[in-house]
Every structure is written in structure tokens, then in C-alpha cells.
Amino acid sequence: MDPGPKPGLGSGSGFEVRVLASLGRVQGSGHDSGPESKFSSVELISTLYNVFVVCNGKLSFKFDSFLNNLKCALLFMQKALAGLRRIDLDGLRWRVFDAKGQVLGRLASQISTVVQGKDKPTYAPNRDDGDMCIVLNAKDVCVTGRKLTDKFYRWHTGQPIVWFFLDDLPCSTCRYVGHLKERSLKDQMAKDPTEVIRKAVLRMLPRNKLRDDRDRKLRIFTGSEHPFGDRPIEPYVMPPRTVREMRPRARRALVRAQKKAEMQEQKANDTRKGSKDKAAEVSA
């Protein structure tokens, strides 16, 4: 008995029909889909992308080109809406942070306060009452001092060093966690600036079971565009940055340094002027 063609391997298979038919069964987007819908937008996006990767161009030309054209958009939406259905959005506000020109540490401290719900009078450490946080313009965040070149992110890959075969399948084990890797803040900003803000915020959160839920409420984007335009977003106003007044001793030291620099510059100008006059007398 012929089992028939394998699903997803030919242009005449019914796999394409089932996937395309699932598009019509989706009602709404993500968390707004009703109980009668069999696929959410996140599941459908994940399914389409997995089909594109696994089949590797073996589908029909029309469906393959369709997936090719939507690849970037699907990846963007999948990353933006990942885990959104697990969050209870009732009573939560959508706060928008503009990272353009903001100092990294000060911005991360404000985001961590909002994502934990510490700005609410109903805050409790055992409840996750924080609001949704949308961070825009992550590529324009600023740092003070020489952190751009002196700050490093370090991690261990734990690359396996022992290989063996179990039931004709290659397996590996790692005797120790090694293979130290590091990346400067400048390189990380060039590679993925969203991870810079994410790491800064997560390292300010308590390490408990609510940490992953709070991480899902944090949406960071490189530019100024985001897919949550249909939500009642509220721009977050950053508090003014207060600069401490210079102490008298430091002020006096600064004045002395400025006077010393002026004297050195005047002395250098006199030396150059004298050498020019001497050269003019010799030539005359």
C-alpha cells in the first residue's frame, strides 16, 4: 500500500493547504484571539518560520517565495510578541521609554522600578504587578566615562570536550565550564544594542521566580518603531538629572589647574615669538 507523498516535500502536497487554511482560522492577534481559534499569531508565525527552515526551499515556488518575503517581518513579530500570551494584561499600563540620549544606568534603574511595580502603592515583593515596558532607540543610549571601551561582558561557552556514541548517536559531555569569552560594550552596541539594556535591567532585578515574568514584560527595540501601536501607550517622563555642586576644594584645584595651563600656554607663545624674532635678525 502506497503511503502517499510526504507532507511538505512537493508542490502537490496538502501540507501547504493546511498551513494556508490556518491563516483563516486565526482571529485577532496573539493574546486577543478567542477560544475558538486553533492557532494564535505567535504559534502561526513560529510554524511558518519552522516550515521555511526545515523544508529548506523544497515547497512549491509560490509558497516558498511567500515565506522568503515575510521572513524578516515574521522574525520581528515573533521576537516582539514572544511570551505575551502568558502575561495577564488586565490593569497593566504600557509605558514607553525613549533611550535616546539617556545614561544607561539611570535608564535601567527607572525601567527596573516600573517593571517590578515599585512605583505603585500596591507593590508587594511576592506579586508581579509591574507594567509593560517598551524601550525605543536602544542604539542611542549613552554611557559615562570610558565604559564604552573599558566595560566587558564575559561568559563561558562550556564547550564539550569529551565525545562518545550512545545507540549510534554522537553524544558529548563537559568536564568543566571553560572557554571564557568576552566582548566590550562598544562591540556589543554594534552587534545588538538591545542586549545592553536588557542585561542592565535584569541585573537590577531580584533573582527569584518572578524574574522571567518580568523579563517578558520588557520589550526593547533598536529604533523608534514598535508593533504595539494599538495599545494605550503612555510615554514615561524621565526625572531630571541632578548634578551635585562642586566642592570648594575641588573648585579651587580646578582654578589652579586652569591658571597653570594659561601660564604654560603664555610661556610657549613667548618662546615661539622670541625664536621668530631671532630668526628675523639673522636673516637681516
Same domain, 144 and 206: yes
Average pLDDT over residues 158-178: 64
Same domain, 58 and 110: no
Same domain, 152 and 67: no
The DSSP bridge pattern shows strands 218-220 and 132-136 to be parallel
Same domain, 94 and 231: yes
The domain containing residue 35 runs over which residues?
A: 15-84
Q: Of 157, 92, 134, 145, which is closest to residue 220 (Cα–Cα)? A: 134
Start-to-end Cα distance in the chain: 114
Residue 141 has pLDDT above 50, yes or no: yes
More confident residue, 85 or 224: 224
- Specify which residues 233 forms β-bridges with: 94
Same domain, 130 and 215: yes
Residue 121 is assigned to a structural domain of this protein: yes
Same domain, 73 and 126: no
Residue 186 is assigned to a structural domain of this protein: yes
Same domain, 102 and 169: yes
In the chain, the percentage of residues whose pLDDT exceeds 70 is: 62
- The number of folded domains in the chain is 2
Under a CB-based contact definition with an 8 Å cutoff, are residues 16 and 60 in contact?
yes
Same domain, 74 and 150: no
Residue 197 is predicted with a pLDDT of 97
More confident residue, 281 or 255: 255
Residue 211 is predicted with a pLDDT of 93
Same domain, 124 and 56: no
Residue 77 is predicted with a pLDDT of 67
Whichever domain contains 133, its CATH number is 3.90.1180.10
State how far the Cα of 97 lies from the Cα of 87, in Å rounded to an integer.
Answer: 20
Residue 229 is predicted with a pLDDT of 87
Residue 178 is assigned to a structural domain of this protein: yes
In the chain, the percentage of residues whose pLDDT exceeds 90 is: 39
Average pLDDT over residues 39-60: 51
Same domain, 97 and 80: no
The DSSP bridge pattern shows strands 180-184 and 152-156 to be antiparallel
Under a CB-based contact definition with an 8 Å cutoff, are residues 153 and 181 in contact?
no
Residue 82 is predicted with a pLDDT of 61
Average pLDDT over residues 201-227: 93
Same domain, 43 and 102: no
Residue 31 is predicted with a pLDDT of 40
Model confidence at 24, pLDDT cuts 50, 70, 90, reads very low
Residue 276 is assigned to a structural domain of this protein: no
CA 176 to chain centroid, in Å, comes to 30
Same domain, 171 and 224: yes
Q: Of 230, 234, 236, which is closest to residue 81 (Cα–Cα)? A: 230
Q: Of 99, 92, 108, 105, which is closest to residue 217 (Cα–Cα)? A: 92
State how far the Cα of 48 lies from the Cα of 33, in Å rounded to an integer.
Answer: 18
Residue 48 is assigned to a structural domain of this protein: yes
Residue 158 has pLDDT above 60, yes or no: yes
State the CB neighbour count (10 A cutoff) for residue 14. Answer: 12
